[in-house]
Chain A
Amino acid sequence: MPRNETIAELGLDEYGYDFVTEDKPVFKSRKGLDEDIVRQISAHKEEPAWMLEFRLKALKIFESKPMPEWGGDLDQLDLDEIYFYIRPQDRMEHSWDDVPDEIKDTFEKLGIPEAERKVLAGVGAQYESEMVYHSLKEEWEQQGVIFESIEDGLKKYPDLFREYFSTVIPTADNKFSALNSAVWSGGSFVYIPKGVKVEIPLQAYFRVNAEQMGQFERTLIIADEGSEAHYIEGCTAPVYTTDSFHSGVIEIIVKPNARFRYTTIQNWSNNMYNLVTQRALVEEGAYMEWLDGNLGSKLTMKYPSCFLVGEGAHGQILSIAYASDGQHQDTGGKVVHVAPNTTSQITSKSISKGTGRASYRGLLKVYEGATAAKSNVECDALLLSETSRTDTYPYIEIDEETASIGHEATVSKVGDEQLFYLTSRGLSQEQAMTMVVRGFIEPIARELPLEYAIELNRLVELEMEGSVG
C-alpha cells in the first residue's frame, strides 16, 4: 500500500528521528553503564545506603542476564550508546521553537491546550494549571493520600517505601527490571489509606514539580484495604522526546477489598524502545484493572500482570495496540491465579496498518489449589493493509481441575459488507473505515476518562485519513 501522504505530513509515523538539539553543557552521566554511574545516580539522589546496595546488586543481575530472544527485535538497541542518567532539570534542552511542526500540528488537530502541549513536547517542566493541582492536592492530603515523586517518597516515607519496594517485581524478574532497579529515576510513589476513595484520577503530570517521565521510571503504589483510586500515566497525544529507550517498572499492591485502576496510554515517538514491567499483587476480594494503550514507539514489549494471591481477587486487563509503519507492538497481559475463586478477564484489541506489526503475548496460569478460578481471554486483531502483520502468542497453563478457562482470538480485515452498508448510507469510504475502526476499539475507549477517549478517537481519525484507496 502506498504510504499515505497526509499522515506522512502529519508526521504521526516518524517524528523526531533527525531532531538535533544544541549541546549545552549540562550534567549527564557518560554513555554506557557501570558501577560508577550507578553510584553517581545514588549520590545525586542522596539515597540511603540500602538503596545504593540494592542498585549495585541489580546491576550485577542485569549484567548476568542475557538479552531476551523472544518478542521484538532488540538487535538495534545498543545499550552502550545510552545515557543512563540525566538530571531532570537538565533534560529540557530544547525550546518550543525546536519542536517539529508536524508535532505542533498534531497537537492542534487533537485540540490539546497550549500549556499541555509544552509539557508533551518536553519544553515545559510544569503543568501550568498549578492552581488546579493545588486544590486537588489539598483534598487528597486531607484524606491522607500520599502522591509524591518516587524520590520524595523514599525521603519522606522511608519505612513504608522500604516495606513494599521491589516486593512485587523482584530485581531478577527479567533483564530490564534488573536494569531499572539499578538506574531508576523518576516515577510516582502513591499510598491510598484504608477505606479512602479518591474520586478524581491521580494523574502523573499533575504532580508538583512534575518531572518529565524518566527513561527508567519507577512507580510504587499501595492501595490499602477497602480503598479506591484510579491512576493515569501518559497521554494519547504524541510524546516528544530525544530519548530512544524507556524501561519502567510499575509495582502495585492492592490490599484486601481495594479497587485500583491503572491507565497508561503511550504514544512515544517512533524511535523509542519501550520495555516496561508492570505488575500488581491483588489480595483478598480486591479488584485490579490495567488499561493499557500502546500507540507509539518503535518497539514496545509490555505485558501488565495481575497476581491474584487472595481469595476472590479479580484482575482485569484491557489492552489496545495500534501498530503503524515500522512499528512493532508486542503487548498483552498476564494473570496468575494463586488463590481460590479468583477471576480474571483479558480483552485485547490490536490494529496493524502499513508495515506495522501487532503481537498479542499473554500468560494465563492457574496453580493447583486456585479452585474454581475463572478466566476469559479475548483477542481481536484488525488488519488494515496488505503489508501489515499480526500475531497471537498466548500461554495457558492450568494445574487446577476446577478452573474454567477460555481463550479466543480472531483476525480480520474491515468487512466489505460493513463498508458497503455504511457507504450505502451516504458515508464516504474513508468515513466508513474510520467508523468501523472506532467501533472496533470502542469496548476499550469507553473505559477511558472522557478527555482521553476523545483524544484517542481523534487520533484514530488522523491515522485513518487517506487510508482508503
Chain B
Amino acid sequence: MKIDATAGGAMRLIDPERALAAITGLNEPETLRQARRLAFERFRELPMPTRKSEEWRYTDISSLRLEDYEPAIPGLNGDRSRGSETTGLDELEAVPEPVREVLARSRERSGVWVQVDGVTVYHRLDDDLAERGVVFASIATVARERPDLLEKYLYTSPIPEMEEKLWAAHVALLSEGFVLHVPRGVRLPTPIHTFRCITKPGILVSTHSLVAVEEGGEATCIDEFMSPDLPEPAINLAGAELFGGDGATLNYISIQRFGTGVKHFGLQHVTSQRDSRTVGVNISLGGDVSRADVTSHMDGSGSESEMLALWFGDRTQHFDHHTLQHHAAPSAHSNLLYKGALTDSAQSIFRGLIRVEPDGQLTDAYQTNRNLILSDKASARALPNLEIEADDVRCSHGATVGQVDSSQLFYLMSRGLSRRQAERLLVFGFFDEVLGRVPAEGVRDRIREAIEAKIGQSGSSVGSA
C-alpha cells in the first residue's frame, strides 16, 4: 500500500501506514485525529462484508475496493488553502448552478451549507438563531469552540455490526461534517438546508450530519446529495447522527439525487428521548447503488418515530434499505412506511426489523413496505422482520409487491386519459402516501418534479408508452 503522493497529489489508501500518517497529520483538533486513528485501525481489521452475511445477502460489495478511491479530505495533501474553518463563506460564487437554482426558489431557510467534493464552499446561519445559541458549524470548528457538544454526541450512536466496516471508513476518511445543535426550548422556524455535491469521478466523499435538538426544541434538516452523471465511479459515505432530547421535535430529510456512477451509502442513526418526536425521511432517486442503513432507537418512554422512504429505480439501479425500529423503552410509538417503484432492470431490497426489548411494554410499532414493479426485468426483495420480547404490544408489518392496479388504470382510461398518463398518475398516487407526510412543504414539490423528470427518462411503459 502506498500513498500516491507523486501523482498529482492524489492520495489513495494503498499504503496503510502512510495513509494513517496523512489523515492523522491533518491540521485539526486532537480529538478528531484520535477518532480517525481508531477508526482507521478498525477499518483495517475488519473484512469487507460479503453476501454470506444476512444483511448483505442481496447487495454484493465484497469486491468494492475503497482503497481504489481518492479520499476527498480538505488539506490532506498539504493543501492548506482551504482548511476546515467555515467562516467567511457567504458568497454564492463557488456554489454549483443546480444548487443555486434550488436556493433561488425559496428563501425560507434558517441556514444553508454547501459542500463540493468534500470542501465547504458556502455556509450561513440566520443571525438571530446564532444569538439564541444555535450552533451550526463544521465539526472541526465545534471541536475548538464547543468540545462539550462533540464529547456528548459525536460518534456515540450504536453502530450495527453489519455497518461497522463502512462506518469505520466514514469516520477515518471524513471529508467534513457539520453540527447542528439546537438549545433547550429553541424552535427553528424554517429548515436548515445542506447540499453535498460530487463533481469528480474516482473520489470518496465522507460527510457527517450531527443534529442534536435539546429538550423542547425543534428543527428540520434537509440533507441533499447531488452530482452530474459521472464517467467513472465515485463513493459517497453519508453518516448522520440525530438526537431528539426530551419532548424535542426533529425532522430529518435525506434527498439523494446523484447522477450515474455514484455509489451511495447512507448511515443514519436516530436516538430519541422521552416524549420526543422524530421524522426521518429518505428519498432515493439517483446513483448506481444506493444503500441506506437507518436505525431508530427509542430510548425514552413515550417517544415517537416516523420513518418514511421512497425510491424510484430505473436502468440497473440497485436500492437497498435496511431499517431498525428499536423499542428499548415503554410506550414508544414507531411507524415505518417505505415505498419503491422500479422500472427497467432496477432492483430493490427492503429489510426491516422491529425489535421490542423486554422493557418495551405498551409499544406500538408498524412497518409497511410496498413495491411497485413496472417492467418485466425489475425485481424486488422484501424482508420485514419482527423480534418481540414484551407481551403487551401492538406490532404489525406488511409487505406487498405488485403492479399498477389494472382496475384503477381502466377507470382512468375510461375517463379519457391515455395509458401513459394514467400510469403516471397512479405512480404519483402510489408515492403520495409518503410525500404527503414529508414535514417540509417546499421539498414535496421538488421531489415530485424530480420523480417526474425520472419517469420521463425511463424506458418503461410508464415513461415511453
Contact = CB atoms under 8 A, between A and B. Distances in A.
B373 A396 contact: no
Given A368-B377, A401-B374, 15 more contacts: A368-B379, A384-B391, A388-B391, A389-B389, A391-B386, A392-B386, A394-B385, A397-B381, A401-B373, A403-B373, A405-B399, A407-B382, A409-B397, A410-B395, A413-B393
B385 A401 contact: no
Interface string A363-399: 0000010000000000001011111111111111111
A384 B398 CA distance: 23
Interface string B386-415: 111111111111111111000000000000
A354 to B, nearest CB: 11
A408 B366 CA distance: 11
Contact of B396 (A385, A388, A406, A411): A411
B381 A411 contact: no
Contact of A407 (B389, B398, B403): B398
Chain B interface: which size bin? 35 or more
A237 to B, nearest CB: 28
B394 A412 contact: yes
Interface string A41-77: 0000000000000000000000000000010000000
A394 B54 contact: no
Contacts of B403: 401-402, 404
6 contacts: A391-B387, A391-B388, A395-B381, A409-B384, A411-B386, A411-B395
A381 to B, nearest CB: 7
A398 B379 contact: yes
A400 interface: yes
Interface in B129-157: none
Chain A interface mostly = strand
Contacts of B400: 405-407
Given A403-B373, A408-B398, A396 B393 contact: no
Given A386-B391, A411-B396, A412-B394, A401 B386 contact: no
Interface residues of A, number: 34
A198 B181 CA distance: 74
B437 to A, nearest CB: 21
Interface in B367-381: 371, 373-381
B358 interface: yes
A405 B372 CA distance: 11
Contacts of A396: 380-383, 399, 401
B386 A390 contact: yes
B379 A399 contact: yes
Interface in A453-468: none
A127 B383 CA distance: 46
Interface of B: 54, 358, 361, 371, 373-403
B393 A412 contact: yes
Contacts of B376: 368, 400-402
Contacts of B358: 386-387
Given A396-B381, A405-B402, A407-B398, A386 B388 contact: no
10 closest residue pairs by CB, A with B: A383-B391, A392-B386, A396-B382, A411-B395, A405-B401, A410-B396, A399-B379, A398-B401, A407-B399, A401-B376
Contacts of B379: 368, 397-399
B398 A394 contact: no
A404 B402 contact: yes
Contacts of A392: 384-386, 397
Nearest to A403: B401
A410 B400 CA distance: 15
Nearest to B351: A395
Given A70-B54, A407-B399, A391 B385 contact: yes
Contacts of A402: 376, 403
B393 A398 contact: no
A393 B381 contact: no
Most A CB within 10 A of own CB, among B373, B386, B398: B386
- Among B374, B377, B388, B391, the one with the most A-chain Cβ atoms within 10 Å of its Cβ is B391
Contacts of A404: 401-403
Given A398-B379, A411-B393, A411-B396, A403 B402 contact: yes
Contacts of B385: 391-394
A435 B396 CA distance: 23
B279 to A, nearest CB: 24
A399 B371 CA distance: 12
Nearest to A359: B387
A393 B371 contact: no
A371 to B, nearest CB: 9
A346 B391 CA distance: 24
Contact of B381 (A388, A398, A400): A398
Contacts of B377: 368, 401
Nearest to B390: A386
Contact of B380 (A384, A398, A411): A398
Contacts of A395: 381, 383
A387 B375 CA distance: 46
With most chain A CB atoms within 10 A of its CB, the pick from B374, B388, B392 is B388
